[in-house]
Amino acid sequence: MGWAVRVLESLRSPVDLQQLPADRLPGLAAEIRAFLVEKVSATGGHLGPNLGVVELTIALHRVFTSPRDALLFDTGHQSYVHKILTGRAHQFDTLRKQGGLSGYPSRSESVHDWIENSHASTSLSYADGLAKAWELTGELGRRHVVAVIGDGALTGGMAWEALNNIAGSDRQVIIVVNDNGRSYSPTIGGLARHLTTLRTTGGYEKFLHWGKQVLHRTPVVGDGLYGALHGMKKGVKDMVAPQGMFEDLGLKYIGPIDGHDEAALEHAFTLAKAFPGPVIVHALTHKGHGYAPAEQDEAEKFHGIGVIDPDTGMPLANSGPTWTSAFAEQMQALGAADPNLVAITAAMLGPTGLESFARTFPARTFDVGIAEQHAATSAAGLAMGGMHPVVALYATFLNRGYDQVLMDCALHKLPVTFALDRAGITGDDGASHNGVWDLSLMGTIPGIAVAAPRDGQVLAHVLAQAVAVADHPTVVRYPKGPLPAPIPAIRHDHGADVLFSHGDADVLIVSVGAMATMAMEAAAMLVAHGFGVRVIDPLWVIPISQAVIDHARQVSLVAVIEDGIVAGGIGAQVMSQLHLAQITVPVRSFGVRDGFMAHAKRADLLIEQGLSAQQISRALAEDLSRNASGTENAVDRAVADPS
């Protein structure tokens, strides 16, 4: 599908946009949408959120001057339009590819990108701190801090902690609420109900018409301007929000504004820019706006897509069973068998596979919004009341709830199960979305048990075991993507599955979860070089089982293959347990080295980290040969360096 470049090709920076006549802006918005559909359908990425903020982002860059003014995008799902308007349109063929354009804001990519962590509910805290810094240096007032946050991200507790600080000061912070009624799933909770009232009250359409007229009539000067702003806020409060939640917090409120009316948005942002204190601009947008397949997608509005046909919106690759679908199927079966099984999601019913469970057991499904800390402690309360909660999260987001897992679940010895999707190296979404910290973090929590299934059948087995536990928390972690072919055990020995055994084992390979296929390939390569090899899968990798210790007594080298960080990972924990058992066999740990990985395909990142079968087998063959020849003392080795 082609698209005719007219206005867009002339834009190299926000300055060019600011000089563009207003009558060219509707055409520009249409061009940007066509551009996004063509480019993102070819690479995959966050299409729906960006289609929904085209006019909003144009208006922001027309009123504020980036990077002198700081535009802070919460989560970053909606930053593609910002990238286009800041001179990066020519790079969109490389979106989410190794060495190419990041799918999120990236400080190394552009001076226009201030933050990049892509975890929700953080932008207001960044904004609060930056405004304080600029106040101390005399910059605030000459420079503006603008935080763009979605209604879904506002359900996160961290956002309200920041709002409390922002509202308690007279520092100018401009908060733009991009309200599309959805995060991944439809936004829920008390805040959502308040915003829904603003969207659906009978007087709203009348207000929009009235508000637009007022904005267009209001001169952008002096004290009279804020008088109009204040009057508008009072009008909204009287018509649709009698309790004035935002005003009660001490925040001046403009809105709701039609988020697809660029002129109205410009006027609202200009009003906010002129006011010397904290202001909320409430913009109503439609996720997927202007693209029929996204608008018709009631589930997620094309939040995140793979490669699709741009005309139909249909995936170009047939999708078979995935780790997520295997989890979903087993949750359905377990829920039918146990009326005390409940499910918790943090605004991600669909992405975590809980949608079917929610349809079947709606009263036993709880969406807490983007609030992982609350999810964990709420689960603790459910467990105290006799339920067995399963908290389904992406592995990277469990980082945010570590204290709650430790102090609220484990300390109380409560039967809460955390199902961690996207564990390990995920790749395309970059540093913040790789789920590589969970094994190290969970290894520090007393009494917790962590399972890492190697295939769909084992996932079903360990999940059933996890929800049967009555006296401590459990974790089941599994990666992103299609299910591998089942890997049968040749026997169950010493409490672990033996997956491969050839000759008198020189090396024991401990395979962690989905790394089993790679472990088997590396074992076959070692056998071809004349070494004896045994591969075991302990299934439950934390705490380190007696099975691993017993098998380690029989070999001259232990290798642990995991796709978590090596610092404090399973390899390090195996080494510690062997030391306590006074077993002197050396341990070589293959995992993710320290540092943040750039976005790239999972396969490329595995090679970069030395985690291919060839790299592993070569490193182990060299170790075994050196040990056999006596040229190197057998010493514990925590980190592999296959290069």
The CATH number covering residue 45 comes to 3.40.50.970
Q: pLDDT digit string (tens) for 31-81?
A: 998 888 888 877 777 787 888 899 999 999 999 999 999 999 988 788 889
Q: Are residues 574 and 612 in the same domain?
A: yes
pLDDT computed for residue 145 by the predictor: 96
Q: Where does a domain end: 444, 477, 510?
A: 477
Q: pLDDT digit string (tens) for 19-39?
A: 899 989 999 999 998 888 888
Q: Is residue 70 part of a domain?
A: yes
pLDDT computed for residue 216 by the predictor: 47
What mean pLDDT comes out for the span 368-395?
93
Q: Is residue 202 part of a domain?
A: yes
CA–CA distance, 136 with 154 (Å, rounded to integer): 28
Q: How confident is the model at residue 225 (pLDDT cuts 50, 70, 90)?
A: very low
pLDDT computed for residue 245 by the predictor: 60
pLDDT computed for residue 315 by the predictor: 61
| Residue 521 pLDDT greater than 50, yes or no | yes
Q: pLDDT digit string (tens) for 550-562?
A: 999 999 999 999 9
The sheet with strand 557-565 has its strands ordered as 491-493, 496-502, 533-537, 507-511, 557-565, 587-592
pLDDT computed for residue 182 by the predictor: 53
Q: Are residues 348 and 404 in the same domain?
A: yes
| Residue 39 designated active-site | no
What mean pLDDT comes out for the span 369-384?
92
Q: Are residues 466 and 589 in the same domain?
A: no
Q: What is the mean pLDDT of the chain?
A: 83
Alpha carbon of residue 178 to chain centroid: 19
Q: Are residues 47 and 191 in the same domain?
A: yes
pLDDT computed for residue 426 by the predictor: 86
Q: Taking the CA atoms of the chain, what radius of gyration do you get in angstroms?
A: 27
| Residue 191 pLDDT greater than 50, yes or no | no
What mean pLDDT comes out for the span 519-526?
96
pLDDT computed for residue 158 by the predictor: 85
| Residue 184 pLDDT greater than 80, yes or no | no
pLDDT computed for residue 234 by the predictor: 44
pLDDT computed for residue 487 by the predictor: 95
- % the chain with pLDDT above 70: 81
* Helical ranges in 469-560 per DSSP H: 516-528, 546-552
Q: Is residue 33 part of a domain?
A: yes
> Is the model more confident about 505 or about 363?
363
Q: pLDDT digit string (tens) for 440-450?
A: 999 999 999 99
Q: pLDDT digit string (tens) for 389-399?
A: 999 999 989 99
Burial (CB < 10 A; 0-12, 13-18, 19+), residue 339, is exposed
Which of these is catalytic: 62, 171, 252, 287? 287
pLDDT computed for residue 629 by the predictor: 65
Q: Are residues 430 and 382 in the same domain?
A: yes
Q: pLDDT digit string (tens) for 586-635?
A: 999 999 987 787 777 888 888 888 899 999 999 999 998 887 665 443 33
| Residue 534 pLDDT greater than 90, yes or no | yes
Q: Are residues 272 and 332 in the same domain?
A: no
Q: Where does a domain end: 477, 512, 531?
A: 477
Q: Are residues 175 and 49 in the same domain?
A: yes
pLDDT computed for residue 99 by the predictor: 80
Q: What is the CATH number of the domain that holds 597?
A: 3.40.50.920
| Residue 1 pLDDT greater than 60, yes or no | no
What mean pLDDT comes out for the span 88-116?
83
Q: Name the pairing type of β-strands 145-150 and 70-73.
A: parallel
CA 8, 11, 12, 17 torsion-angle sign:
negative
Report how many domains make up the chain: 3
Q: Are residues 464 and 499 in the same domain?
A: no
Q: How confident is the model at residue 496 (pLDDT cuts 50, 70, 90)?
A: very high
pLDDT computed for residue 151 by the predictor: 81
What mean pLDDT comes out for the span 325-330?
96
What mean pLDDT comes out for the span 82-100?
85
What mean pLDDT comes out for the span 85-90?
88
What mean pLDDT comes out for the span 249-254?
81
pLDDT computed for residue 69 by the predictor: 96
| 103 contact partners, CB below 8 Å, separation of at least 6 | 45, 46, 76, 95, 96, 428, 429, 430, 599
Q: Are residues 590 and 537 in the same domain?
A: yes
DSSP 20: S
pLDDT computed for residue 641 by the predictor: 42
| Residue 581 pLDDT greater than 90, yes or no | yes
Q: Is residue 300 part of a domain?
A: no
Q: In terms of residue numbers, what domain contains 553?
A: 491-629
CA–CA distance, 20 with 38 (Å, rounded to integer): 24
> Is the model more confident about 634 or about 330?
330
| Residue 192 pLDDT greater than 60, yes or no | no
pLDDT computed for residue 292 by the predictor: 60
Contact call for residues 617 and 525 (beta carbons, < 8 A): yes
* Helical ranges in 338-421 per DSSP H: 349-352, 355-360, 372-384, 395-398, 402-403
Q: Are residues 241 and 121 in the same domain?
A: yes
| Residue 372 designated active-site | yes
> Is the model more confident about 385 or about 306?
385
> Is the model more confident about 494 or about 359?
359
Q: Where does a domain end: 477, 502, 520?
A: 477
- Interhelix angle 613-629/516-528, rounded to 10 degrees, is 50
Q: Is residue 212 part of a domain?
A: yes
What mean pLDDT comes out for the span 401-405?
94
Report the predicted TM-score, pTM, of the whole model to 2 decimal places.
0.76
Q: Is residue 435 part of a domain?
A: yes
> Is the model more confident about 315 or about 51?
51
> Is the model more confident about 165 or about 312?
165
Q: Is residue 307 part of a domain?
A: no
| Residue 197 pLDDT greater than 60, yes or no | no
CA–CA distance, 341 with 402 (Å, rounded to integer): 23
| Residue 400 designated active-site | yes
Q: Are residues 563 and 585 in the same domain?
A: yes
Lowest-confidence pick of 2-6, 204-208, 274-278, 577-581: 204-208
| 472 contact partners, CB below 8 Å, separation of at least 6 | 410, 413, 414, 415, 447, 448, 449
Q: Are residues 211 and 72 in the same domain?
A: yes
| 137 contact partners, CB below 8 Å, separation of at least 6 | none
pLDDT computed for residue 246 by the predictor: 65
Which of these is catalytic: 55, 116, 262, 372? 372
Lowest-confidence pick of 28-37, 59-68, 183-192, 249-258: 183-192
pLDDT computed for residue 230 by the predictor: 43
| 498 contact partners, CB below 8 Å, separation of at least 6 | 489, 490, 491, 492, 534, 535, 536
| Residue 195 pLDDT greater than 50, yes or no | no
pLDDT computed for residue 314 by the predictor: 57
Q: Is residue 336 part of a domain?
A: yes
pLDDT computed for residue 176 by the predictor: 93
Q: How confident is the model at residue 198 (pLDDT cuts 50, 70, 90)?
A: very low
